[in-house]
Amino acid sequence: TGGEQPLCLFQFRKDGFLVLEHFFTAEECDSMRNQIQRIIAEMEVPPHCRTEFSTKEEEQIQVQGSSDYFLTSGDKIRFFFEKGVLDQRGNFLIPKEKSISKIGHALHAHDPVFKQITHSSKVQELGRKLGLERPVVVQSMYIFKVQPEGLCLVAVTPHQDATFLHTEPLGRILGFWIALEDATQENGCLWFIPGSHTSGINRRMVRAASGSSSCVEFVGSEPLYDESQFIPLPVSKGGLILIHGEVVHKSELNSSESSRHVFTFHVMEAKDTSWSKDNWLQPTPELPFPSLYT
């Protein structure tokens, strides 16, 4: 209700995150999951994943190929795989729907189901309640967090989203994280350090100079965080977690039998904000960052 809203915003500004349970309906969650199955069914494995390499030089070319695949994914729908799921010829060792780590980074622009969710009236209304004047959508991802057969799925180490999506000034990036099934401590829910969004960022991922061996590099380093400061944020299917761009968060590995599907997108307040030219992700003539309010 409207009366509770100021309290929620106070909580968000204090903690750097806010849980809104049952923000999306079960039907909306299922429509996203069904749509992703259709997308996977039509997926072609990227050529760089099929390279059977034998020499060091070929290996470097293969890495460069995959880095270009990543760097140019901001305005496309592309597939990123768990390690060890493909043989040397690029054939799947396990079912392909269990081999994908994430799909990104422009589902919000190119897929009708995800576009409708991203620009839904309730998301727009929430943006207005948060005081966003010119919000634009910068990226989106579908994250699977499956426990693949016989493979150890890695945890997501403590980080700040603004490390990867840098703005001047800071404080202009907001993550919308939607649980498409229950996110529990067993299957890898998010953990946060409350209030950790107030002291800037420690590290930046920037595009490497041309000719470098990798496509991106890190400036600065992530400090060792006190693990006891993290609190878990389990959320049920349809729940939305708002994530401040500088709040420190992580997820543990999925130790359960069940997956933890998530759709997430990031919004930037474009008013009086400049997007860093060093960010790996850049708007393109084909896809300028679309307004959230359209």
Residue closest to 89 by CA, chosen among 52, 126, 62, 119: 52
Which of the two residues, 43 and 88, has the higher pLDDT score? 43
C-alpha 128: how far from its chain's center? 22
CA atoms within 13 A on the CB side of 28: 19
* CATH assignment at residue 149: 2.60.120.620
Task: Tell me what pLDDT residue 1 has.
Answer: 40
Q: Is the pLDDT of residue 212 over 90?
A: no
Would you list the DSSP string of the chain? -GGGHHHHHHHHHHHSEEEETT-S-HHHHHHHHHHHHHHHHTPPPPGGGG----SHHHHHHHHHHHHHHHHT-TTSEEEEE-TT-B-TTS-BSS-GGGTEEEEEE-HHHH-HHHHHHHT-HHHHHHHHHTT-SSEEEEEEEEE-----TT-PPPPEEEE-GGGTS-EESSS-EEEEEEESS-B-TTTT-EEE-TTTTSS--SEEEEEPPTT-SSSEEEEE-PPPP-GGG-EEE-B-TT-EEEEETT--EEE----SSS---EEEEEEEE-TT-EE-TTSS----SS-PPPBTT-
Task: Tell me what pLDDT residue 4 has.
Answer: 55
- AA identity, residue 201: I
Assign 5 a pLDDT band (cuts: 50, 70, 90).
low
> Which of 79-83, 242-246, 290-294 shows the lowest per-residue confidence on average (mean pLDDT)?
79-83
Give the C-alpha separation, 56 to 171, whole Å. Answer: 42
Task: Tell me what pLDDT residue 6 has.
Answer: 61
Give the range with max mean pLDDT: 64-78, 90-104, 157-171, 203-217: 157-171
Total domains in the chain come to 1
Model confidence, pTM? 0.91
Is the residue at 82 inside a domain?
yes
Going by their DSSP bridges, the two strands 274-275 and 216-220 should be labelled as unpaired
Is the residue at 290 inside a domain?
no
Arithmetic mean of pLDDT, 259-265: 95
Is the residue at 294 inside a domain?
no
Is the residue at 291 inside a domain?
no
| Exposed e or buried b per residue across 80-105, where buried means at least 16 C-beta atoms within 10 angstroms of its C-beta | bbbeebbeeeeeeebebebbbbbbbb
Task: Tell me what pLDDT residue 201 has.
Answer: 96
Give the C-alpha separation, 185 to 107, whole Å. Answer: 27
Give me the residues paired with residue 86 across strands. Answer: 92
Report the 10 Å Cβ neighbour count for 236.
14
Is the residue at 32 inside a domain?
yes
Arithmetic mean of pLDDT, 67-75: 89
Task: Tell me what pLDDT residue 3 has.
Answer: 45
Is the residue at 148 inside a domain?
yes
Arithmetic mean of pLDDT, 24-31: 98
Task: Tell me what pLDDT residue 151 has.
Answer: 54
Is the residue at 282 inside a domain?
no
Task: Tell me what pLDDT residue 7 has.
Answer: 63
Task: Tell me what pLDDT residue 2 has.
Answer: 45
Is the residue at 213 inside a domain?
yes
Q: Is the pLDDT of residue 258 over 80?
A: yes
Give the range with max mean pLDDT: 211-215, 256-260, 286-290: 286-290
Give the C-alpha separation, 251 to 234, whole Å. Answer: 11
Give the 3-state DSSP-derived string for 91-115, with helices as H, strands as E and coil as C.
CECCCHHHCEEEEEECHHHHCHHHH
Report the mean per-residue pLDDT for the chain: 89
Residue 70 near residue 63 (C-beta atoms within 8 A): no
Arithmetic mean of pLDDT, 45-62: 61
Assign 69 a pLDDT band (cuts: 50, 70, 90).
confident
Task: Tell me what pLDDT residue 49 has.
Answer: 74
Task: Tell me what pLDDT residue 54 has.
Answer: 45
Give the residue numbers spanning the domain of 88: 7-275
